[in-house]
Structure 1
């Protein structure tokens, strides 16, 4: 059962919900930004996302309800942190695979930009 903030327990995380959350490029961008530093905690407004505030809120809710991020309210803002340990426990190597895909895309985009 999710906690009062909508975070599922580790054992309740479902791979289908996580894949659905990661299927959206904006949500994947958020997860990869948080994955760049395990201790990274960022406010929702710190992400440069090309969407309206309501859409941004929706994306963060999907990430939270899937179990990918933990959100904490601090006054008028929310912080976001990737649930590294929980994800590694429930789905070992999922984050490594996601990071690997991002690295592959960056290399491909770099080659395309150089005309290779």
Structure 2
């Protein structure tokens, strides 16, 4: 029996809500994931959390919150998943927001 990786739902650009995006970015672990993606897409397996003992299910939940808020895109890539920030969609809906958040996080 072959394992089939399915496409996950992502909100459309026009459906992105500022409150959802800000909530997703308010958690330190989720923000750390987004900061790792700032330089470009990564395989999900290469994204690390500050606590290496955190369960895999928790990491998956963090990714789900970011995806459902429209902050990241989570796409199948072979047997794994590739994560990327939805820069264009976020910039179109909330100009300057993601850059400001990432800039402030880098200074903290």
TM-score, with length taken from structure 1: 0.80
Number of equivalenced pairs:
99
Q: How does 1:1-116 map to 2 (within 5 A)?
A: 5-35=8-38, 37=39, 40-49=40-49, 50=51, 51-105=54-108
Question: Quick one: higher RCO (CA 8 Å, sep 6+), 1 or 2?
Answer: 2
Which whole-Å CA distance do the structure 2 matches of 1:74 and 1:93 have between them? Answer: 29
Gapped runs of 5+ residues in structure 1?
Answer: 106-116
Which whole-Å CA distance do the structure 1 matches of 2:31 and 2:23 have between them? Answer: 10
- Backbone CA RMSD of aligned residues: 1.2
1:5 is paired with a residue of what secondary structure?
A: coil
Q: Report the structure number with the largest CA radius of gyration.
A: 1
Name segments (4+ residues, structure 1) moved above 3 Å: none
